[in-house]
């Protein structure tokens, strides 16, 4: 019998690692699911609802963690939480593997096997486990909804007897999962939408959603995508050409959403102070890369900054603000991963350490950091 613990997240994290639906499925796999009382409350999953699907509600985190084989979290757990688990237990969460190395080392020292969902390989079999996509999709939607609320003008063009209200112009920088959802949402709200990205494949995706594509389409642009589907860092020469094109385009935009992040690196700088100063007063910038330094030079993480009448918002956890949906999707991602680790007949852990998905997400095992992208890094 596998015992799975789920504890409440810190005050700044409204999401939770299970949903009523996944509790039911995990119990169906033969697992005991122990959830700390109140852990699901900020995602509107009451203790009663979780209990009805088969969860055991533990009065405290310590009660949930005691003798557990697996700890499921949204954020990186504390060393004390991991120490309370069975020796050699599994910890599965978004561990922020490139952040606070000393704390990650301390967690690894507990001898738990640490899996980070951000490192899920971009392969067909793992699509249902891709937490970056499930959460970024919601963040892209919420960024546009928040921008529209802050904008204080109408988004669609309206023809009225009193005159015409022009459509807002929205510019989406980065057409990954968050960017594509931002394009779709801005279009639904009636904005005129344009978008840019350095990956050639994104041109067609932007057009298919009704957006206008803006980019310097030279030879370097044609090679600008990694095998994993991420944007490659571009040369200084390309960046200068792209910046000039963007500078001319951005001054006429009402709403700009930036979504450019490269895992493990500071966010690329896309919007300079001069570009912000060229924009009309009342314009809005929402910077989804705020936690990694921001795509805009003036972004302050977690704050709204006003500069020359332009407001720049640097949210830190937009997906968490739609916690009901975010938790439901994240819990499904975790369940899809867990299903590959549990033997359904024997109802016990059966981890294939050579599986591409396991190797891709395993950060630490037997007291040492083992992931190739983290070894030798500080």
Please tell me which residue in 51, 66, 75, 122 is annotated as part of the active site.
122
- Residue among 47, 51, 230, 355 flagged as catalytic: 230
Sequence-distant (6+) residues with CB within 8 A of 20 are: 45, 49, 50, 52, 53
Active site residue 100: no
- The closest alpha carbon to 22, from 62, 49, 41, 42, belongs to 49
Catalytic residue among 100, 101, 127, 218: 127
Q: Is 230 a catalytic residue?
A: yes
What are the angstrom distances between the C-alpha of 29 and each of 22, 48, 90, 330? 10, 21, 17, 18
Rounding to the nearest 10 degrees, give the CA dihedral for residues 86, 92, 94, 100: 30
Please tell me the distance from the alpha carbon of residue 352 to that of residue 301, in angstroms, as a whole number.
40
Contact (CB, 8 A) for 268 and 260: yes
Asked if 130 is an active-site residue, the reply is yes
Is 127 in the active site?
Answer: yes
**Cα–Cα distance, 251 to 270 (Å, whole number):** 14
Q: Which of 69, 81, 130, 146 is catalytic?
A: 130
Torsion over CA: 133, 134, 135, 138 (sign): positive
**In a 3-state reduction of DSSP, which class is residue 258?**
strand
Q: Is 81 an annotated catalytic residue?
A: no
**Residue carrying structure tokens 């919420």:** 142
DSSP class of 126: G
Active site residues: 122, 127, 130, 133, 230
């Amino acid at each position: 019998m596998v015992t799975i613990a789920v504890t409440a997240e810190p005050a700044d994290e409204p999401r939770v690692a299970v949903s009523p639906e996944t509790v039911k499925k995990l119990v169906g796999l033969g697992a005991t699911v122990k959830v700390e009382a109140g852990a699901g409350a900020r995602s509107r999953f009451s203790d009663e609802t979780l209990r009805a699907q088969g969860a055991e509600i533990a009065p405290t985190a310590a009660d949930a963690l005691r003798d557990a084989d697996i700890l499921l979290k949204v954020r990186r757990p504390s060393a004390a939480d991991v120490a309370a688990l069975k020796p050699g237990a599994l910890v599965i969460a978004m561990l922020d593997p490139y952040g606070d190395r000393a704390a990650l080392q301390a967690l690894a020292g507990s001898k738990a096997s640490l899996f980070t969902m951000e490192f899920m390989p971009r392969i067909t079999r793992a699509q249902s486990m891709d937490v970056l996509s499930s959460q970024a999709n919601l963040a892209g939607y919420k960024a546009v909804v928040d921008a529209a609320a802050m904008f204080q003008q109408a988004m669609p063009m309206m023809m009225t007897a009193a005159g015409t209200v022009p459509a807002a112009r929205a510019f989406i920088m980065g057409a990954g999962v968050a960017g594509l959802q931002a394009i779709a949402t801005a279009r639904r709200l009636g904005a005129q939408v344009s978008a840019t990205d350095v990956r050639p494949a994104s041109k067609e995706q932007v057009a298919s959603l009704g957006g206008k594509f803006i980019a310097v389409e030279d030879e370097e642009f044609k090679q600008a995508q990694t095998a994993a589907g991420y944007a490659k860092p571009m040369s200084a020469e390309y960046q200068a050409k792209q910046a000039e094109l963007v500078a001319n385009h951005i001054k006429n935009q009402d709403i700009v959403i930036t979504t450019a992040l490269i895992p493990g690196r500071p966010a690329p700088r896309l919007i300079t102070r001069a570009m912000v100063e060229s924009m009309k007063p009342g314009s809005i910038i929402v910077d989804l890369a705020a936690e990694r330094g921001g795509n805009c030079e003036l972004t302050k993480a977690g704050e709204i900054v006003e500069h020359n009448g332009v407001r720049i918002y640097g949210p830190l956890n937009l997906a968490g603000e739609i916690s009901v949906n975010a938790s439901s999707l994240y819990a499904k991602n975790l369940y899809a991963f867990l299903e590959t680790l549990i033997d359904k007949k024997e109802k016990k852990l059966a981890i294939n350490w050579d599986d591409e998905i396991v190797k891709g997400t395993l950060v630490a095992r037997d007291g040492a950091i083992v992931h190739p992208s983290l070894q030798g890094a500080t």
